[in-house]
Structure 1
Amino acid sequence: MLRKASSQVFRQFVRYNSADSSLVLERSINRVQLLGRVGQDPVMRQVEGRNPVTIFSVATNETWRSGEGENNPTGDISQKTTWHRVSVFKPGLRDVAYQYVKKGSRILVEGKLDYGEYVDKNQVRRQATTIIADNIIFLSDSVRDRT
């Protein structure tokens, strides 16, 4: 029975069959987890006619050793920092992020990737990648003590 139930859940997860058998809607996943440090205090913006959004950046680091072999202790250590733009739209989370997220805080952000375009101040069309946050976990001691 458990096998049959898990099989049904899996089929529903992978694809949804409508009454029209020619139309098959497949499910997909867009999930991101970032563990890093906040690069700036958040700002709250509101575009006319829309709900406000809290925006901040998170830095993640990738470290690797270059050299002859993996076990070579004399290889050079290199590090790359990547900056991610995080937007928080959910009303409760948006307000908590604005109040408690601070520059230098260590946080875990869970959400989804969003790609968009905007026009900069020089009227040049630019592409932007944003993480739309669904959850934020505070890992810095100073932030945890205040919540």
Structure 2
Amino acid sequence: ILRTANGYIFRQVVRFRTTDSSLILERSINRVQLLGRVGQDPVMRQVEGRNPVTIFSLATNEMWRSGEGEMSSTGDVSQKTTWHRVSVFKPGLRDVAYQYVRKGSRILVEGKLDYGEYVDKNQVRRQATTIIADNIVFLSDNMRDRT
């Protein structure tokens, strides 16, 4: 699979020439896949003059063994949970996410990473990392129970 993916990527690298022959634009990849559980029911927000966005959090877990038994079944098991902010702008997907994504649902989110800044209520400038979703796969029974 990796060989096929790499071949696809290399075939997709495209160079565009502009009037300035020294400037070459190359295609790049910003792709993320997250498999986890939803932290809270989604909210839909609309900033004046912009399209609405559905926002929710997604938790992913990393587990590992530590201590003497790293290679065996003994040793302490540790877990780290990472929370991700997911934003859905795509009109059809945005509405489906708002209607069917629920706290505790197990989902797969595909999209891209986005970095930005905002000013909080105390006028402090903060940085935010967001996953801009372009596909959601429902893995829980929650979706089937609601249709």
Task: Give TM-score, length-normalised by structure 1.
Answer: 0.88
Aligned residues: 139
Match of 1:35 in 2: 35
- Percentage of matched positions with identical amino acids: 86
- 1:19 CA drift (Å): 4.8
> Superposed, which structure 2 residues align to 1:35-74 within 5 Å?
35-74=35-74
Aligned-residue Cα RMSD (Å) equals: 1.7
Task: Give TM-score, length-normalised by structure 2.
Answer: 0.88
Distance 1:53 1:75, change over 3 A: same
Match of 1:144 in 2: 144
**What is the alpha-carbon distance in structure 1 between the residues aligned to residue 16 and residue 50 of structure 2?**
35
- Runs of 4 or more above 6 Å deviation: none
Is the Cα–Cα contact under 8 Å of residues 15 and 24 in structure 1 kept in the other structure? no
Match of 1:17 in 2: 16
Is the Cα–Cα contact under 8 Å of residues 138 and 144 in structure 1 kept in the other structure? no
* Secondary structure in 2 matching 1:28: coil
**What is the alpha-carbon distance in structure 2 between the residues aligned to residue 67 and residue 96 of structure 1?**
45
Q: Which amino acid aligns with 2:41?
A: D
